[in-house]
Chains A and B, each alone.
Chain A
Amino acid sequence: MADTSRIERARQRARAAKVGIGALTALVFGVAFVGAKSHAPGHTKGKATPLGAPSSFERAVRHSVAQGGQIAPAVQPPPVATSTS
């Protein structure tokens, strides 16, 4: 009787292990499937965009290209002068 009980418990553990392994396999497969679907180059998620910088970024860069410096009234004889060259 005791041996039967031990065999039965062992079978239950084996069934639980099979169910667990099966569930884990299904879970891993599902995650991998969704990941592949999302990231594979053959499956675009949205409209393709140009590889260049966005136009708003280019505009911002151009507006900041020429910026004023900081000047003030002179306070002593200048050691250097600006002129065309």
Chain B
Amino acid sequence: MSIGAVERFRTMGCDVAVAGGDPAIVAAVLARWEETFSLFRPGSELSRVNRSPARVLVVSPLFVRGLEVALDMAAETSGLVDPTLCGRWREVVLSGSLLSRPPSLALDLNGVVKALAVDAAAAALDGPGFVSVGGDLAARGPVDVGLPAGGAIRVVTGGLATSGTASRGAHLVDPATRRPSESCWEQVTASGASCLDADIAAKTGFLLGERGPAWLDSRGIPGRFVGLDGEIVENDAWQNATRPAVACT
């Protein structure tokens, strides 16, 4: 099954690679997410929400979707992936299209929005192919992917994401200390049923430090960890999935 030619362009401040679909459609999907959730655009819905002095606001369906996932992920990871970045995610309440939160509590949905946008863009593909945005990938059909610190893997289906400090420094906040994370890993790559699943798994594996490989294994999630010294650790799920099959003789 061929995935066709790979088209490349830049959006959301990231390099984008698309195969199996119209790049213009993918760009439009990504642009819609950026217009809603960008923290760098004063006119984005997220920026307007963060500036609003009101306690209760009406937000768009796309905003609801992003925030719902962010709050679910905060609960799933016991606050490791936190849309408030300060451990106050339980104060954020969604009821239909109504958002309630303390007016001074700013939201940052970067933790989930890029992966959600990648999944949405992959859903817009015509057939087998993939969408990769800044190294986060969702595949509809097999695609080989290069890995941090060398090597490659075939994503048969689902998503693949890498989280860490390699390109942006310590941008992940550890909710236990509320300070930038000081993980023992430089980069963590995880496979997921979707790009969102992979991204959350990679972030959580990174933030959990030495407990990361076991946490992913307990959920059957393949993870590959690159240590600060360059050592590569693959958890059991990753090893089992990538070990070449031995032919019977």
Contact = CB atoms under 8 A, between A and B. Distances in A.
Interface in B57-94: 72-73, 75-76
A85 B219 CA distance: 25
B198 interface: yes
Contact of B160 (A62, A69, A79): A69
Interface string B159-180: 1111111111000000000000
Interface stretch (A3-11, A15-23, A70-78): A70-78
B241 A66 contact: no
A80 B219 contact: no
B25 interface: no
Interface in A54-85: 61-63, 65-85
A68 B220 contact: yes
Contact of A84 (B3, B133, B135): B135
Given A71-B241, A73-B244, A81 B153 contact: no
Interface residues of B, number: 64
Contacts of B168: 84-85
B154 A67 contact: no
Contacts of B153: 71-74
A80 B157 contact: no
Nearest to B133: A85
A67 B144 contact: no
Contacts of B191: 68-71
A85 B168 CA distance: 7
A69 B155 contact: yes
Nearest to A68: B221
Contacts of A68: 158, 191-193, 197, 201, 216, 219-222, 237
Contacts of B151: 74
Nearest to B75: A62
Interface in B86-122: 114
Contact of B145 (A65, A67, A78, A84): A78
A11 B242 CA distance: 93
Interface of A: 61-63, 65-85
Interface of B: 3, 6, 14, 17, 19, 72-73, 75-76, 114, 130, 132-137, 142-148, 151-168, 187, 189, 191-194, 197-198, 200-201, 204, 216, 219-222, 237-238, 241-244
In the A-B complex, list the 5 residue pairs whose CB atoms are closest, starting with the nearest: A69-B158, A85-B134, A81-B146, A74-B152, A83-B135
